[in-house]
């Protein structure tokens, strides 16, 4: 058993996000382990002032839980959906989607991800 009291938030991410995002890794599946089968990566993702991800997918799927703030997610089929604290989003394997904070808001999402993220260079419209 391993207990994690908090992850490393020393790195701010850009490039595949529309604004400031801090990724707080709580658990990283070692590269020799098949995360799609043996376990997910787990992170708290802090989106600042309306920041969102670019379109992406995960070979084993992803689950997102809204920890704080006002969040949003989107797919081609559903468009943008607003989320409140306590909402859980289950993204199937290989489903293209994006997620982040509502405009002019911050949010924190607990992200549980199976497999290496497949990014596009496309931001949500």
The 10s digit of each residue's pLDDT in 35-91 is: 555 568 899 999 999 999 999 999 999 999 999 999 999 999 999 999 999 999 999
- Domains of the chain listed by start with CATH number: 12-119 (2.60.120.10)
Beta strands (DSSP E) in 58-116 are: 62-69, 71-75, 79-83, 88-91, 98-101, 107-113
Cβ neighbour number for residue 99 with a 10 Å cutoff: 25
Q: What is the pLDDT of residue 6?
A: 78
Euclidean distance between the first and the last CA atom of the chain, given in angstroms as a whole number: 43
The 10s digit of each residue's pLDDT in 53-64 is: 999 999 999 999
Distances 91 to 2, 7, 13, 95 between C-alpha atoms, Å: 27, 24, 22, 6
Q: What is the pLDDT of residue 27?
A: 84
Strand partners, 82: 72
């Amino acid at each position: 058993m391993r207990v994690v009291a908090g992850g490393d938030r020393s790195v701010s991410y850009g490039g595949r996000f529309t604004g400031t995002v801090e990724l707080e890794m709580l658990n990283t599946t070692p590269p020799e382990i098949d995360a799609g089968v043996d376990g997910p990566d787990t992170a708290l993702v802090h989106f600042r002032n309306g920041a969102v991800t670019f379109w992406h997918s995960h070979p084993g799927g992803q689950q997102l839980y809204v920890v704080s703030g006002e969040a949003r997610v989107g797919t081609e089929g559903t468009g943008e959906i607003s989320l409140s604290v306590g909402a859980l989003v289950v993204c199937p394997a290989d489903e293209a989607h994006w997620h982040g904070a509502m405009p002019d808001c911050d949010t924190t999402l607990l992200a549980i991800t199976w497999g290496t993220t497949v990014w596009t260079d496309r931001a949500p419209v």
